[in-house]
Amino acid sequence: MTLPVAAGPIGIFDSGYGGLTILHGIRQMLPEYDYLYLGDNARAPYGPRSFDVVYEFTRQAVLKLFEMGCHLVILGCNTASAKALRSIQQHDLPEWDARRRVLGIIRPTAEVIGSLTQSRHVGVLATEGTIKSQSYDLEIRKLHPDIQVSGVACPFWVPLVEYHEADGPGADYFVKKRIDEIMRKDPEIDALVLGCTHYPLLMPKIVKYLPSGVRIIPQGEYVADSLRQYLERHPEIDARCSHGGTARYLTTENPATFKEQAQIFLHEDINVEHVELE
């Protein structure tokens, strides 16, 4: 397999729109790089899909980004990070090009969580697929064996965001229900990980119903800082990332629809291109 060798953009992949919050956080911290965002909106959501299907879809997306010049791809999707990252790193990269890299967004959060909790009780709110994978539990306990992790799936939170209901009164019921559930599960939780990239857009409701003293941990800033440190540690990867300060957006769905929805996450006007995955 022949892949481009010239410096290229940093790829950001998500099953849909939520990864735009990751891209936004990264661009805030590292604006000098070029970025290529790919949303597999035609096949979203990934959360309820099996491990095998998520792996295959994610594999196709990563390969497409490599073919378009990326040497480094961030899986800006918790479900893809949970269900596909390790297989791609271990089985696909050696076959495609061992010099390229694919990183996820779960480990950066797990790395910093030890400094963000005093009670050593942490909650995770995420999609059904991410919770069932227990990826946060495994990563956090691997790095911080003393931390107790409790997770709750929030199946209606993503539609609330994508159907522009995040600020509406209907969101209160679903947000309160899941927060009450996780606090009943472990009342000692003092740090709550938002393990889905859509969830920061529900922040006003989450703050409204979360007990005082519980710290909310969105992923964007931690993923961005982890990427910054990664590029500093790996100058050979940094040298393969182009520095033009640009961002391109690709979707497997209708570009006009993506452009409209993206404004919820980015608050800016963007150009969007259609792409096929296979």
Contact in structure between 77 and 13 (CB atoms under 8 Å): yes
Contact in structure between 249 and 272 (CB atoms under 8 Å): yes
Strand order in the sheet with 191-194: 148-153, 121-126, 191-194, 215-217
| pLDDT confidence of residue 264 | 87
CA gap 116, 76 in Å, rounded: 22
Peptide bond before residue 169 is cis, with ω within 30 degrees of 0? no
pLDDT by residue for the chain (278 residues), tens only, comes to 678 889 999 999 999 999 999 999 999 999 999 999 999 999 998 888 999 999 999 999 999 999 999 999 999 999 999 999 999 999 999 999 999 999 999 999 999 999 999 999 999 999 988 999 999 999 999 999 999 999 999 999 999 998 889 999 999 999 999 999 999 999 999 999 999 999 999 999 999 999 999 999 988 889 999 999 999 999 999 999 999 999 999 999 999 999 999 988 898 889 999 999 98
Residue 257 tokens read as 């629809």
Across the chain, the runs of DSSP E, i.e. the strands, are 10-14, 35-39, 72-75, 101-103, 121-126, 148-153, 191-194, 215-217, 247-251, 272-274
| pLDDT confidence of residue 232 | 98
Any idea which residues carry the catalytic annotation? 77, 196
